[in-house]
Amino acid sequence: MNPIRVLTIAKNSFQEVIRDRILYFIGFFALLLILAQKIIPEIAAGTDEKILLDFGIGAIAILTVIIAIFVGTALINKEIEKRTLLMLIPKPISRAELIVGKHLGLLAVLVITISIMMALYLGMLQASGISYPTLALIISAVYLLIELALLIAVAMVFGVFTSSILATLLSFGVYLMGHFSQDLVELGKLSKNSSIESLTTGLYLVLPDLSRLDLKNEAVYGLLPSGGDLLAHALYGIIYTILLLIVAITVFSQKEF
């Protein structure tokens, strides 16, 4: 795998996503913050500061997850449907380089998007006179990026062998179940049924445990896991992402065009 070719593909992918007006999400987020700042204090007197803290970091997570899944499923699928892939394959570009480059390009877009959104969010809190745990919120944003890198890889795995619509639905399914995978295990134990317990345990082992990377609820209170747990969670997300990219590359390499 040639790093220069990977970075070139990542750069082109980055520019392509930016041209798709993906950064209009930032304008929409800014509008949401303005509306929240005006409306929430009127309807939630006394608890408005806590709600604004939760709302801002939650909106960042939801909007960026939408970008990661919708754009991620189309990164390769769009090349296949438009037949532009036929022009890329004869060139000295391996399919692995294409997958990794596309992934890095979209991830770079999300790094910029989250950075700007976090700046707007913290600026809104500052302007409203709301105290906030700066370091905890920044760390939660970093772990959101790790989660998004994993979700992009999930979206690409589905995107290389099925339609964009089905890949999007499957990716959202993995996202939802990934946040409740620990609850699935507990549900299996409560059922007292060995078959159901085996099924829920199997789903927990196969599906990514995204709750390990979701720190936003703790961050608004300034509470975070220990340093060792943070490191373990980060490694978990990175290794899972790498494994998913290997799966995507393997599946994509078997396709005939």
- pLDDT number for residue 89: 56
Q: Is the pLDDT of residue 42 over 80?
A: no
Separation of alpha carbons 238 and 223, rounded Å? 23
Answer yes or no: is pLDDT of 91 > 70. no
* Segment 82-86 mean pLDDT: 59
Report residue 22 CA to chain centroid gap: 15
Q: Of 23-32, 137-146, 171-180, give the range with the top mean pLDDT.
A: 137-146
Residue of higher predicted confidence among 169 and 23: 169
pLDDT tens string 171-194: 998 898 888 776 666 666 666 666
CB of 173 closer than 8 Å to CB of 203 = no
CA atoms within a 13 Å half-sphere pointing along the CA-CB vector of 244: 27
Please compute Rg for the chain using Cα positions. Answer: 20
Q: Which residues contact 137 (CB under 8 A, 6 or more apart)?
A: 57, 118, 121, 122, 219, 220
Q: What is the largest CA-CA distance in the chain?
A: 64
Query: Is the pTM higher than 0.85?
Result: yes
- pLDDT reading at 74 higher than 90: no
- Average pLDDT over every residue of 14-28: 83
Residue in 248, 94, 33 with CA at minimum distance from that of residue 156? 248
Tell whether the model's pLDDT for residue 225 goes beyond 90: no
Residue 257 has pLDDT above 60, yes or no: no
Q: How far is CA 121 from CA 51, 69, 138, in A?
A: 13, 23, 11
pLDDT tens digit string along 229-254?
Answer: 999 999 999 999 999 999 999 988 77
Angle at the Cα of 243 (from 77 to 216), degrees rounded to 5? Answer: 90
* pLDDT value at residue 193: 66
The pLDDT-based confidence of 77 (bands split at 50, 70, 90) is confident
Q: Provide the terminal-to-terminal Cα distance of the chain, rounded to the nearest Å.
A: 21
So what's the pLDDT on residue 192? 65
- pLDDT over 60 at 86, yes or no: no
Ordered DSSP codes for 106-140: HHHHHHHHHHHHHHHHHHHHHHTT----HHHHHHH
| Residue 103 and residue 77 in contact, taking contact as beta carbons nearer than 8 Å | no
Kindly report the average pLDDT of the chain as a whole number. 83
